[in-house]
Amino acid sequence: MFLPLSGGFKYQRPLKNRSMLTTISMKKILVAFLPLMLLISCNKDSELPPITDNGNGTFGAKVDGVAWAPKGFGPFPASNILEARMSGTTITINARNFASSPNETEFQLTIHNVTAPGIYPLNTDVTHPNGAASYGYYVKRNLNPENEWLTSSTYTGSVTITKIDMVNRIVAGTFEFSAGGIITPGVIQVTEGRFDVKIL
């Protein structure tokens, strides 16, 4: 482009394509914010649900210091990732994580003689899934169990029921325990456990 100036014309280089500049700018912005987005995502995955007692349908714990929560597979959450059932005075809570299917993990808490809020110990030798006493159980599967961990008289813990509401069918509380490996020897530490679920 030539622009008229006093004493003659001066050549001015044409402007670059605006869409190209916009694309380059957007790429720079995405590159700049990608680490922040990943950090936010990781932090979200590492968070446990808050401790509540309103039947919010939540469950979470740390397994050897790593946050765990029930999850479905991909964009299609499973309908049975968190269930609580009551038979007589026995409450059984199952929480499942299918996020890395076919690798799956699952918690089961079975608490006997639940009649009121209180602390229920997990300190008796039992067999899963038909233990006659309260127990905590965790399993890692790849179609078949790779290992299972169970509380016992050696590896103990407790569940604290903070709310049992049979009118609104809500059970809520906290838990922690250590559990010994059934298939392969080893111990896991479950800490900061919490649940707030509707009883089916």
Q: Quick: pLDDT tens for 56-109.
A: 999 999 999 999 999 998 766 677 899 999 999 999 999 999 988 789 999 999
Cα 71 to Cα 100: distance, rounded to the nearest angstrom: 9
- On whether both 19 and 90 belong to a single domain, the answer is no
When pLDDT is averaged across residues 176-186 and rounded to a whole number, the result is 97
- On whether both 18 and 34 belong to a single domain, the answer is yes
Number of structural domains, the chain?
2
- On whether both 132 and 56 belong to a single domain, the answer is yes
* Tokens of residue 179, six digits: 């559990």
Q: Quickly state the pLDDT bin for 13 (edges 50, 70, 90).
A: low
Cα 4 to Cα 183: distance, rounded to the nearest angstrom: 87
Query: E strands, 27-169, where?
Result: 58-63, 66-68, 82-87, 90-100, 103-111, 118-122, 135-142, 144-150, 157-165
Query: Range of 97's domain?
Result: 49-198
- On whether both 27 and 81 belong to a single domain, the answer is no
- On whether both 22 and 84 belong to a single domain, the answer is no
Question: Residue 169: left (phi > 0), alpha (psi -120 to 50), or beta?
Answer: left
